[in-house]
Amino acid sequence: MKKRSSAAAEENRLLELENEAVYMVREAYKKFKKPAMLWSMGKDSTALLWLVRKAFFGRVPFPLIHIDTTYKMPEMIKFRDEKAAAWGLDLKVVRNQAALKAGMSPASGGALKCCTALKTAALRELLKKEKYDAVFVAIRRDEEGTRAKERFFSPRGPGSEWNFKDQPPELWSQFQTDACEGGHVRVHPLLRWTEADVWKFIRKEKIQVIDLYFARNGRRYRSLGCVPCTAPVPSSAASVDEIIAELEGCGTSERAGRAQDKADDYAMQKLRVEGYM
């Protein structure tokens, strides 16, 4: 009896998160003139993409942006192209060609500089060019400390900068739905989700994710990124159920395998203030 009621509570909690996220997606779609969504093909943005399809009854009524550093894992690119075709996505792939031509890589520039050039700058340029006034990003509070301090609707300046010292009040589903002149608003529907919540949602909705998340030879990727900067972690979890069980008793954070987070004590703050996701 107790077990059943806690399962029901668990289900309710996931439903609450899901409906909250759908509300935000619809709100942003209604209020902004030109929204777009970042899709890295990772589990979070793929879960968000699924939520968007739920919100619009199978459709995705705005473009998806993949910021391609050219260092991404080949499995990710394959997954991207398959799903884009199958789901009829308006996919836009962008690269910072100038930086790539100049030879930018984690080896040549260091992880922080490389992320800034190939991701932050590429995104900033695209936003400027396309004048998107809202961008959906699948970040979560539990990923790291500065994301934990985010708003659901987070206004950014004309250069994508984040004024974290003066964020607008956000009460009762009344979000900041005005972008400033030349700026945009980052929309974070999964902000309140945990890593385990994302996996539980993937399980409930039977969403297909990239195989790299599942353990092979005692290791699996908890988080997907660029080949040089992303390492698999020791794990035996080879299915969604096993991943959820593993996370319930886990002692390290998810981005422990990501090099850019460790480059400096306040690395993520520095990246994010300038417009990193």
Partner 1 sequence: MPGADIKIVIAGHVDHGKSTLVGRLLSDTGQIPEDRKSKVEKICRAAGKRFEFAFLLDAFEEEQAQGVTIDYTEIRWRFGGRRFLLIDTPGHKEFSKNMVTGASRADAAVILLDAAEGIREQFRRHSHILAMLGLDRVVVAVNKMDLVAYDERRFAEIDSEVRSFLGKIGLPPAAVVPLCSIRGENLLEPASSMPWYKGLPLSGELLRLKPAKKAGQNPLRFSVQDVYKFDEKRIFAGRVESGVVKKGQKILFLPSGKETRVKTIENWPGPGAAAAVRGVCAGLTLEDPLFIERGEIGVDGPAGGKDRTAPFVSDIVPANIFWMGERPLAPGITYKFRLATQETGCRLVSVENVVDAATFEKLDQAEDSIARNNMGDVTLKLDKPLVFDEFSRIDVMGRFVLADDGRVCGGGIILKDARERLRYKGIKKRALFTEKSGVTREAREKRNGHPGFTVWFTGLSGSGKSTLARELEKELFGRGAQVYVLDGDNVRQGINKDLGFSSADRVENIRRLGEIAKLFSDAGLAVITAFISPFESDREAARRVVGAKRFVEVFLDCPLRVCERRDPKGLYKKARLGKIMNFTGVHSPYEPPSRPDITLRTDKLGVGAAVEKITGYLKKRGMLP
Tell whether residue 194 is a contact of partner 1 (CB under 8 A): yes
CB atoms inside a 10 Å sphere around CB 178: 13
Nearest approach in angstroms of CB 79 to partner 1 is: 20
Nearest approach in angstroms of CB 197 to partner 1 is: 9
Tell whether residue 181 is a contact of partner 1 (CB under 8 A): no
d(CA 197, CA 131): 33
Distances (CA, A) of 45 to 39, 52, 136, 201: 5, 10, 9, 12
CB atoms inside a 10 Å sphere around CB 83: 18
Provide the angle, in degrees to the nearest 10, between the axes of the packed helices 195-205 and 2-31.
90
Applying CB under 8 A, the site for partner 1 has a residue count of: 52
d(CA 219, CA 201): 23
The residues near 262 (Cβ < 8 Å, ≥ 6 apart) are: none
d(CA 195, CA 44): 8
- Of 23-31, 32-40, 210-218, 224-232: span binding partner 1 (CB under 8 A): 23-31
Tell whether residue 54 is a contact of partner 1 (CB under 8 A): yes
Nearest approach in angstroms of CB 12 to partner 1 is: 6
Tell whether residue 85 is a contact of partner 1 (CB under 8 A): no
Tell whether residue 171 is a contact of partner 1 (CB under 8 A): yes
Per CB under 8 A, residues contacting partner 1 are: 6, 9-10, 12-13, 15-16, 19, 22-23, 26-27, 29-30, 53-59, 61, 141-142, 144-146, 148-149, 151, 164-165, 167-174, 176, 178, 192, 194, 250-253, 256, 265-266, 269
